[in-house]
Amino acid sequence: MTRARRLVARGFGLRAETLAAWRLRLAGYRILARGYLARGGEIDIVAAKGDALVFVEVKARPSLDEALTAVTPQKRERLSRAARQWLVEHPAFASRTLRGDLVAVAPGRWPRHCVAAVPLDLGHL
């Protein structure tokens, strides 16, 4: 992939994450972090609502169906690894209900929030 194509893809991804964050805010979630990087993993959005702490994967694809099926086992492992690190750094949140959500984004469509769509392996916290 050329540098120009990578920049276009990165811009598309950032716009999708911004749309996803607004979708979550409108549903009553408080955004705690965006683009959290950990060794071996990344979390697009960390959000809270009520007792739930949510690690959100945002997938932007040409269609919602493609976005809904874009989370691979490798991505689930990277998200789980990053979520474990986030919880180590923010231990006050570890007692909350923890889950992995997906926000699917496609051009011309309202982002779809799928609750508990990404199984997380958080081990023993």
Q: Is residue 122 part of a domain?
A: no
Tell me the CATH number at 72. Answer: 3.40.1350.10
By CB atoms closer than 10 A (0-12, 13-18, 19+), residue 79 is buried
Task: List the domain range (segments joined by +) for residue 19.
Answer: 3-114
Rounded Cα distance, 34 and 93, in Å: 16
Asked whether residue 102 is domain-assigned, the answer is yes
Q: How many domains does the chain have?
A: 1
Domain-embedded: residue 121: no
| Residue 125: predicted pLDDT | 59
Q: Over the stretch 87-114, which tens digit does the pLDDT of each residue have?
A: 999 999 999 999 999 999 999 999 999 9
| Residue 26 resides in a domain | yes
Predicted TM-score (pTM) of the model is 0.90
